[in-house]
Structures are given as C-alpha cells and as structure tokens.
Amino acid sequence: EDRLIGSNVGLQQGLSRIRRSTNLTSSKGALPAATVSTSRVTATLPVRSVLKIFCNAVPPSYTRPWGKLDGESYTGTGFAIAGRRILTNSHVVRHAQLLQVQRHDRPGKWPARLLADGVQCDLALLT
C-alpha cells in the first residue's frame, strides 16, 4: 500500500517530466558532467544532480506496538528534478525522523522533507 503525504500529484508530475525529458542541457549550455568510460561505451553523467541522503529513522516494533526500536542512521542517493524536488527510493527514507541532503561538491547538509512515498514502486519524492 502506498503512503502519500499531501497529494500524489507532485510525484506523478515529477515522473512524467522525467519520462518526457531526453535533453540534459539547460539554456546556458550543458550541465557540468563527469565522463565514465568502459572498453566499448563512453557516457557523460550529470553529477551535480546526484545527492547523498542522510536518514535518521526509528522503525516501529511489530512485536511490541506500544514501543519503538532503537534508532538507525543510514545513507542513500537521490537526484534533483524540476521544482527543487528530489527523487529517491522509498526504502532510503522509510520510517524517517530526520532527512538531510548533501551535494557531492558541497560540505554542508540541508534539511529535506518527505512529500510522497510510494512503497509499491519503491519511489519517494523529497523537497
């Protein structure tokens, strides 16, 4: 069952924009990128849009519903999409109490908020 916070319109709009977009350039030119090479394929990846997600979570106790388990800290990745939103996997932000994001080239962390969490498709939308 999908757990949605607010409306799922933002998630649907974000996913449809991703499907429609095939050009990774902006009006000011190409996005800064890193080049990845293999023996047969050379690909250019936009690394500025990749974010590290820090999550502090407290999962529920299913054997003792009146209590909670010990907190956990873990990290995951996501990527920036239009509208200052971040698309990531649902399992990265499950049971989150505190979410923070960090760009690969910046030392600071910024707070994030969960907008939508689609457990069945394993996608989550943050802002």
pTM recorded for the entire structure: 0.63
pLDDT above 90 coverage of the chain, percent: 50
Does the pLDDT at position 118 exceed 90? yes
> Which helix or strand (DSSP H or E) is residue 15 part of?
helix 9-20
Token pair 């960090």: residue: 102
Q: What is the CA radius of gyration of the chain?
A: 17
Q: How far, in Å, are 28, 49, 96, 102, 122 from residue 25 at the CA level?
A: 8, 12, 33, 22, 28
Q: List, for residues 2-58, the tens digit of each pLDDT value.
A: 444 444 555 556 556 655 553 444 444 444 555 555 555 555 567 789 999 999 999
Identify the residue whose tokens are 């250019």: 44
Phi then psi dihedrals of residue 60, to 5 deg: -75, 155
